[in-house]
Amino acid sequence: MRRRVEITVERHRRVVLRGGRERSLGWCRRCAEAVLMLRPEEAAATAGVSVREVNRWVEAETVHFDETPEGRLLICANSVAQVRTQN
């Protein structure tokens, strides 16, 4: 009689962002809620991709984003997490 062995593998990833900047909540219009807003460098580190790839997501409107009055780009952390799970 043959035995069947099933192996389940779980992977966890922890990303630690450092930089001295306080994390801030911002309003994401597409999520319609206050969410953590990330700079492009932080979004790239969170997703494990390059900043260039994050910029492509912004241009394609794959992620939710906003620009401050000063012209800084902020990206919704929830949408980054969604894109990361899709890839």
pLDDT tens, position by position, 11-41:
765 555 555 555 678 999 999 999 999 999 9
> What is the reported pTM?
0.71
pLDDT in tens, 35-84: 999 999 999 999 999 999 999 999 999 999 999 999 999 999 999 999 98
CATH of segment(s) 25-86: 1.10.1660.10
Domain boundary assignment for the chain: 25-86
* CA distance readout (Å), 65 to 7, 10, 28, 47, 69: 40, 31, 7, 15, 13
Helix (H) or strand (E) holding 77: helix 77-86
